[in-house]
Amino acid sequence: MNDLIFTNSVGKSLATIVAGMNEPRLFVLTDANTSQFVLPRLVEQYPALSTAVNITVHAGDFNKTLDAARDVWKVLIDHEASRHDVLINVGGGVVTDLGGFVASTYRRGMHFINIPTTLLGAVDASVGGKNGVNFGGFKNQIGTFAVADATIISSCFFDTLTDRDMLSGYAEMLKHALLDSPKMLARLLAFNVLEAQSADLLALIEENVKVKRSIVDADFREAGPRKALNLGHTAAHAFESLAMARRSPIPHGYAVAAGCVVALVLSHLKFKFPSDTLHAFAAYVREHYEPVEFTCDDYPALLNYMAHDKKNDHHGIFNYTLLKAPGKPMVNVALTAEDITGALDIYRDLMGI
């Protein structure tokens, strides 16, 4: 597993990491937002970045594509980057997913460092070694398992984020809490992420990321236990794909929040997941997140997206991660289309849509 560094002295940590390498040339991948709002602040902390080659891609998950990867590969080739140089990915999940994919495939692998600048990137996308791009209208269809040389996790750039961005990242933290324990879940449901002090939030992020890291360390290539991290994501990726098809993308965390409600409904139906916890979680999502809206007419499309989910092993069977209770995941649960449409009906009732 890569080196995870939790600090708000990002420039100092980055300088230490680069100093331990063999004098690499520096390439920095940003999106249009982080190039404008974050990179100048990072250069102030680590002036050596002022001479780095800056590669900027369009912001948003809709732009996490092979075309974007090709553009980054071309810049690396034009500058004759070697495997011993380093790509520093500064941004949210789109940047770290794309940058990790590019770095892990360029000349069969060059060094890369992740500096997530969003809460979502800090707790999820930049940790765990999964990299990739969307393809053919489906999420993360092409990618690699490759770990960054280091990931520097900080909360110091979160002042550039909207409340919507913060809540998107917090959905992944809630998912980790569901996988950990009733105690962690209760604490996060009572925590106000929008008013948290930076130091308090960084400490909570470190505790939360350790949940994911312990699961990944036990099963890096997702042969079994790591599939627990897919909680909520089968439905979430379908919601995102439907939104992309409509040319109206939704934040990943909003889709995850909705997907977790669907998963908890299925967990209650299949394994008697506690109904009070289900309703408390659904109430939190209803209060804090805009609902993912769809009708019965959208069920065939959603089922089609789920059928193409990379976690499925057999045609016609939908592979889900569910819970017996908080902290007790069940992976590889085979469900039918009828199971899922029934849960989607209940989701709509719970969200009042």
Domain segments of the chain as ranges: 3-160, 163-351
Given CATH 3.40.50.1970, say whether it is the number of domain 3-160: yes
The rounded distance, in Å, linking the Cα atoms of 103 and 339 is: 40
Where are the alpha helices (H) located in 121-232, listed in sequence order? 163-180, 182-190, 198-218
Q: Cβ neighbours of residue 304 under 8 Å, at least 6 residues apart?
A: none
DSSP designation for 124? I
Contact present, 237 and 305 (Cβ < 8 Å): yes
Contact present, 233 and 239 (Cβ < 8 Å): no
The rounded distance, in Å, linking the Cα atoms of 53 and 142 is: 26
CA 161 to chain centre: 16
Can you give the pLDDT of all 353 residues of the chain as single tens digits?
468 999 999 999 999 999 999 999 999 999 999 999 999 999 999 999 999 999 999 998 889 999 999 999 999 999 999 999 999 999 999 999 999 999 999 999 999 999 999 999 999 877 889 999 999 988 889 999 999 999 999 999 999 999 999 999 999 999 999 999 999 999 999 999 999 999 999 999 999 999 999 999 999 988 899 999 999 999 999 999 999 999 899 999 999 999 999 999 999 999 999 999 999 999 999 999 999 999 999 999 999 999 987 666 556 679 999 999 999 999 999 999 999 999 999 999 999 99
- pTM (2 d.p.): 0.91
Of the candidates 118, 115, 285, 254, the one whose C-alpha atom is nearest the C-alpha of residue 188 is 285
CATH tag, 163-351:
1.20.1090.10
Q: Cβ neighbours of residue 170 under 8 Å, at least 6 residues apart?
A: 119, 188, 193, 253
The rounded distance, in Å, linking the Cα atoms of 5 and 174 is: 22
Contact present, 254 and 289 (Cβ < 8 Å): yes
